[in-house]
Chains A and B, each alone.
Chain A
Amino acid sequence: MPVLRVSNLSMSFGGIKALSNINLEVERGEIIGLIGPNGAGKTTFFNLLTGIYSPTEGEIEYNLKKRGTSKNIKPHKIIGYGISRTFQNIRLFKNMTVLENVLIGFHNNFRYGLGASVLRLPFFYKNEKEAYIEAMNLLSIFSLSDKADEFAGNLPYGEQRKLEIARALAAEPQLLLLDEPAAGMNPRETQELMELIKWIKDRFNLTIILIEHDMSLVMNVCKRIFVFDYGILIAQGTPQEIQNNPAVIKAYLGGE
């Protein structure tokens, strides 16, 4: 049973087709690379998966924590279905601390009500303390625990990317969507990040889809690759298959 099944998915913005007729499946535990030239529709695909846009046509079926389809999903409910994501242009809460950012990731795990928070009932402290401990654990995985009290906006770029992943993990997803996690990192940082991604995949038992431009990296980490071009899924397969696929070569190198 695939965790994600996309059938006949199309999305257009005012007559311009960003995605047309995408069909694909993702199995549990895979690391999938999503590649394609700029404007191929990769981020739009993520936005559809996370309910930010609703598709013009077609359907997405999730089979994670809860079953669901793109028809009944609102962006804030997507976490409840076991899907969490990062953003291409880093969307951290810049004026909140590193720790608070991760705590927002735990949002759905808090249980105390308004009354308990206003009256500071013991349950409030218990719940906050548990979350605090878990958040600090998560931060230590990303070597960010000593920066817990700094504003997220003050972190260097690479650490902001890591914090965004930590925040996404806090939501305890089963499917993690990473939108260009290594963008703007130097080769050494990228290498470290990729090792980390492989490690968290096993540690948290994740399925991961990642959008990335660095080919060597995608080929190295991903077991399977989807290639988008002009909103069409032009190829899918193992890194070897993709490297030798004439359609992919044409899409990247151009020419007839």
Chain B
Amino acid sequence: MKELLQQVINGLSLGSIYALIALGYTMVYGIINLINFAHGDIYMVGAYVGFAVTTSLHLGFFPSLVISMVVCSILGVIIEKVAYKPIRGSSRIAALITAISVSLFLEYGMMYFVKAETRTFPNVLGKNSLKLLDGSVVIDYKNIYIVAITIILMVALQYIIRRTKAGKAMRAVSLDREAAQLMGVNVDRTISYTFAIGSALAGAAGVLVGVYYTTINPLMGIVPGLKAFIAAVIGGIGVIPGAVFGGLFLGMIETMVSAYGGSLYKDAVAFAILILVLLLRPSGLLGRNIKEKV
């Protein structure tokens, strides 16, 4: 029981990180129907920015979090303008290949500059932890920070999407781009906003992962990127609460699989879930089924 509680806490932390990245996938997919393969790599860049800010500028956790979010959102907008805008009219396959190319560019471009080796993220949150139930359940402050920051960011995101003009424009564009344009929504700018917000969340996730796992490398974005994508699919891609649900769900499953002896297979389990969901409920657990019009 105590073991289970411990694993739930770990799963919640991992799931929060997946959820943060998954949100970016889902927002971008919702608005331009593109699986932004480079999203996982934006998260990697976020981790490196956090690393640079904490080691070179000796800033604390919160400033580095903010700086990383800002840098990533700028990066996201640049990627959208430079890479995705020119191929907006092309086929889905062309768009996906372009996204893969951006992903490779970020991964190996980064590797070229910072070299392939793994770096250790400074411990900016201290080593304190909460001990519950006579010390048999240990909650690291890191876990609390991660979950709390995730919640704060999600509330902020909900506010932006529900209450602000930009958020309403995003919702309009994702429902019907042409109609939104006719109603005077600036589609280009709305797409940029979407990339900016999604990338900022990925940047935050990057710093959180750096803090949580303490190591970073240029290819660190690939696997969590894929996992977050799986999370988005599980929840129903394009559905914002779905991404959160999917992230937490996947985080929990993975933690449980690892905890109960299947750690070697935890990635395989994630992919198996992905394939099952795609086959049985392609619109995700929280999505709606849409029939193709002939």
Which A residues contact B (CB, under 8 angstroms)? 13-14, 43, 47, 52-53, 87
Contacts and interface: CB of A to CB of B under 8 A. Distances in A.
Contacts of A47: 294
A13 B291 contact: yes
Contacts of B291: 13-14
Interface string B142-167: 00000000000000000000000000
Nearest to B291: A13
A151 B294 CA distance: 23
Interface string B269-293: 0000000000000000000000100
A43 B294 CA distance: 9
Q: Is the interface of A mostly helix, strand, loop or mixed?
A: loop
Contacts of A13: 291
7 contacts: A13-B291, A14-B291, A43-B294, A47-B294, A52-B294, A53-B294, A87-B294
Interface residues of B, number: 2
B107 to A, nearest CB: 34
A87 B294 CA distance: 9
A230 B294 CA distance: 18
A14 B293 CA distance: 13
A125 to B, nearest CB: 35
B288 to A, nearest CB: 9
A161 B294 CA distance: 17
Interface string B217-248: 00000000000000000000000000000000
A14 B291 CA distance: 9
A123 B127 CA distance: 78
A53 B291 CA distance: 10
- By Cβ-Cβ distance, the 5 closest A-B pairs, closest first, are A52-B294, A47-B294, A13-B291, A43-B294, A87-B294
Interface string B94-132: 000000000000000000000000000000000000000
Nearest to A44: B294
A52 B291 CA distance: 11
Contacts of B294: 43, 47, 52-53, 87
A87 B293 CA distance: 12
Nearest to B288: A14
B189 to A, nearest CB: 32
A47 B291 CA distance: 13
Nearest to A87: B294
A43 B291 CA distance: 15
B67 to A, nearest CB: 47
B291 to A, nearest CB: 6
A45 to B, nearest CB: 12
A13 B291 CA distance: 8
Contacts of A52: 294
A14 B294 CA distance: 16
A13 B292 CA distance: 11
Contacts of A53: 294
Nearest to A46: B294
A69 B227 CA distance: 45
A14 B290 CA distance: 9
A183 to B, nearest CB: 16
Nearest to B289: A14
A52 B294 CA distance: 8
Contacts of A43: 294
Nearest to A50: B294
B283 to A, nearest CB: 12
A100 to B, nearest CB: 21
A53 B292 CA distance: 10
A123 to B, nearest CB: 36
Interface in B64-115: none
A42 to B, nearest CB: 13
A92 to B, nearest CB: 15
A101 B291 CA distance: 27
Nearest to A91: B294
A164 to B, nearest CB: 15
A17 to B, nearest CB: 15
B138 to A, nearest CB: 49
A174 B291 CA distance: 30
Contacts of A14: 291
A53 B294 CA distance: 10
B103 to A, nearest CB: 29
Nearest to A88: B294
A43 B293 CA distance: 11
A191 to B, nearest CB: 29
B110 to A, nearest CB: 38
Nearest to B292: A52
B292 to A, nearest CB: 9
